[in-house]
Structure 1
Amino acid sequence: MSVVTTLNFGGRTEEAVEHYRAVLDAEVVMLMRFRECPNPSRIPAGCEEKIFHATFRIDGTDLMASDVGCDDPDQVSHFDGFAFAIRATSVQDAEQKFAGLASGGEVLMPLEETFFTRRYGMVQDRFGVKWKVTVE
């Protein structure tokens, strides 16, 4: 058994996946738009080009994402209560990933040397997802 985290970006899945591909070298494993769904009655009006399902991989970890609910104007993409942890291979790698995730987001704790690692910091990206970046 495995557990895979699914993220709902409320209409911004494609943008989020592309951002993670650029910043974290994410690999898109599968991407299906609503218009490609086998059951047309399940396609929300105006969401035909939105993402019904995406699976992407970051350094061996699979994540799923969707725009389910994109037809609801009150749908808010709000993440809280968890964070993804990234173990960078070097200080330079950590700085690059941290800067990319912070772009358009918010630094919660600056990336700096700590008693337990050469660099550690926390950031909330522009999609509301929290990330902890550390050096192995």
Structure 2
Amino acid sequence: MTGPTMILTDDECDLLGHPRLATIIASAIANPDDCRYRLPGSGRGGGNHSFGYDVSRTHLTGNWTRSEVVEWFGPDSAEHVRGKPRRYAIAKPHRNVSITLRRLQKWCESIPDDLRKRIQVAHHHREYRSLVTEAVALSRSTPGAA
């Protein structure tokens, strides 16, 4: 690390701290060159009607959506699904946050070396979510904001 941890916007912190991105962010922190060589164009993911992400050649973008149950399983349904949601209406994204992969790489390079080493070890064992949260917390412009 060459200086203090780079400060990110609250939106960028929310994006990088999202649990669905923990694997990607842990990998990028463990090896910042991933932002140039492995991540660009690597795809998209998410689901569960609330958050999705896309990694293009130049940006990591997250989209938050809201869904509303429009149909429920009725009393004639099988017991294990009775009363549970059957169909959702998914609205267009209500929040869209993006960070360039170059900025992501600079942020990853600014993470303190001791935290990076802990993430490298944890990433190998797939136990990195809390460490990614710790790294994002270092970068919030207002300490303690979540």
Structure 1 and Structure 2 fold alike (TM over 0.5) = no
Task: Name the one with the larger strand percent.
Answer: 1
Please give the range of the TM-score, normalised by the shorter of the 2 chains.
under 0.3
For CA contacts below 8 A with separation 6 or more, give which structure has more relative contact order. Answer: 2
Higher Cα Rg, which structure: 2
Structure with the higher fraction of residues in helix conformation? 2
